[in-house]
Structure 1
Amino acid sequence: MTTSTGGPGPRTGHQRPAPAPGSSPPRALHRALGVQVAALCRSLATPTDPGRPLFGDAPGPWRRWVPYAVALAAVSSLLPVTIVMLMEDYGVGGQMAAALATAQAAPLVLAVTRPLQAWWIVAVADVLGAVASLGAAAPGGPVWPWTPPVVVGYLVLMAAVGLREPPRTLVAVWLATGAAGLAFVLAPVDADRGVAVSLFVLTGVVLLVVGSLRERGEARRRLTEQENVSEAERARRTLLEERARIARELHDVVAHHMSVITVQAESAPYRITGLPEAARKEFTAIAGSARESLTEMRRLLSVLRSEGAEGERAPQPGLDRVQQLVEAAVRAGVPAESSLSADLGAVPQAVDVSAYRIVQEALANVVRHAPGAPTRVSVTASASGRWLTVLVVNGSADGATSPLESTGTGHGLVGMRERVRLTGGTLDAGPLPDGGFRVAARMPLRDAETPEAPETPEDPE
């Protein structure tokens, strides 16, 4: 059961000195800038699905526009520089220079959504640009085969490719870049071709760094998915284990009734005189069916029982032992009191066992999570005698507390809900405004042809 902790009290001791004039805004600005940079780095490490824009899963709208802003800035700066450089330094015609520059720079916008397709366009344009500028390849001339704008744009493109494509594709792109550079290095042209080696090395570095970020994001996402699956499987296993435990306990209740049916059916011909032969055969058939049902129930119980577990030899407990639970809680340091109605009447065995287990689990949670909290246990029947209400309320404790378990190795609320559901009742469990916790179970004592208006369990005075 959960309890509340005290609110913040008045501050005592030394007060934090006031910041010096003019120092707070820069500090706040740096802190805000650091937060945004960290968020941007997280977006870099978060892979997106194919066809979606880079940073498409980023929470902030401005972050989703960052790749487009970077691409447009790169295109607007590289396009005119490339045209001017191809015309003035490499002697390429105006129309050819404009076409090559557009093909080399414009696909960077496409790289936001389809980086691999953009790479194909840029790679072909870069090779054609190297061929077109072959006449400028001479000692002391401009670098060849890749112009400086080509190097910058290609590295930006590699960042987009590394964020999206798998490692095998990244290796293929890197090797293709090296193969194109090697082909121009081996060409019979006397020019400075060190830029081809430099682009090959820089491309590998960019792909390695960005690809590592993407793989790290993938690993984190897979780990999160696995944790969610494990949590769901753990909750499902806990529920199945609790259902099996309830089935094992209800086995004794059903077995008792079946044994009574067997004895009554077998002894009826001796207790009732003047029975016709057809009635005697009917009672014999009833006794045989009851014995067969008991045998099948024992087989079912052997399936539900885990390996190495032995069956319980003691009878299943009921409401007559609730007072013992309260006394055990008092001995554990919980100031508990109980109120049991004396006119409960005949309680079905399944409801009797479930009510005892609910009180047992609730008191165990008080001892575990709210030691020292005052606790009240109430078991009453409705005025019509149709519903049994089990109420366990604990106040806030002064000591350290921890939240009430609803999943895990213990039974807790999982077992309570299953027991109440199997009996056809309802369960209301949750924290109280004062920091305590309330468990109210309502289970049927008998069946009725007409539904009865719901009754709200109230705390005992």
Structure 2
Amino acid sequence: MTMTRLRDVRLIPLVSGPLIGALAVTETRLDDYFGASATATWIWGALLGAGMVVAAWYPLAGTVIAAACLPIPVVVFGAPGVGGAAMIGLIGVVAWVAWREPPRRSLIASGAAALSFVSASIAGGQSWWELFFIPAILLPGWCMGLLARRSGERAAKLAELAAALDAEREANAQAAVAQERTRIAREVHDAVAHSVSVMTLQLGGLRRLLDGRPAEQEIVAGLERLGRQTVEEMRGLVGILRERVDGERPAPVPSLARVGELISDVRAAGLKVTLDSPAEPPRLPPVLDLTAYRVLQEALTNVLRHAGEVPTAVTIGYTEQALTLEVRNEPGRAAHDRAEQAVRRGGHGLVGMRERLTMVQGSLYAEAEPDGGFAVRARFPIPRTW
């Protein structure tokens, strides 16, 4: 497992859930506070850990499961109350739901969790102080999750701004090219074509002065014809340049909907590429769509740069939760050890891809294969609100 795989945020509840569950089970067995109910309340610890694991994919449902299990040891098994592991787990799952869900929904889920904890504590014979104490310790967890969510939203807005700036840069580059063609056309017409026309006229005058010298006249006449032909070709070139400028269209925005064009371009460059992608890809958020296109483009460019014209497979997959990209090439000029060294050094291409994926909370896996090939796999989570 590489470091990029460890960046998947769902690993937080997936790892902490079993740990908290094991801690809760251990607490009920080793702490005399639970008395005769200790053996039976291991079910409660298991449910607490399971709820946190479920929260990795369904934060609201996981929070409800984790909170609903709290009264079980008190109401069903007669335990005197809940333990410290439950408090730690509940703070964690409240922070998680505040990070992954909109504030209103996460606040309702956090309130339900606090109410469940308070009910279990009071049913166990503890004081009404729990009405104030438990919400007070859960509130910081909810606030931390909310801050993390807002930080992610700001990062998403920055990613949108970066995409807009990228599109604007491309538009400006196209405009600069158009302006340069206009300038070249003007220079060719006003300066070069004019000078050649004057030279051609002077050659015509020189030819007339050489009357009676047919050999020299033939040479000058040939130069005169060449001059006229050159002027005509220059005028045609000016017409082509101006026609392209007048008929210029804005460059299309990079999108996976144009993945066929990208594959055709790299095939024309000599790369043997196969594409496995749905015939009708779903509509994606603009920032995610642009980022995925750029990552795929960079991955294919890296294959050409480091492996050469080798068979390469591109696989694009879609689910309701995420978009996945895979670019895998067979062994080429780059040997297995060189590929591993490139990964460890972190070339500019991989760094750029990781930076783009970070902006959309995605993950990147890039590693040399045992057979000497190389694989790049990227995952782009699709926002649930899209």
Q: What interval of TM-score do these two structures reach, taking the shorter chain for normalisation? A: 0.3 to 0.5
Name the larger-Rg structure: 1
Give the TM-score, by structure 2 length: 0.43
Give the TM-score, by structure 1 length: 0.37
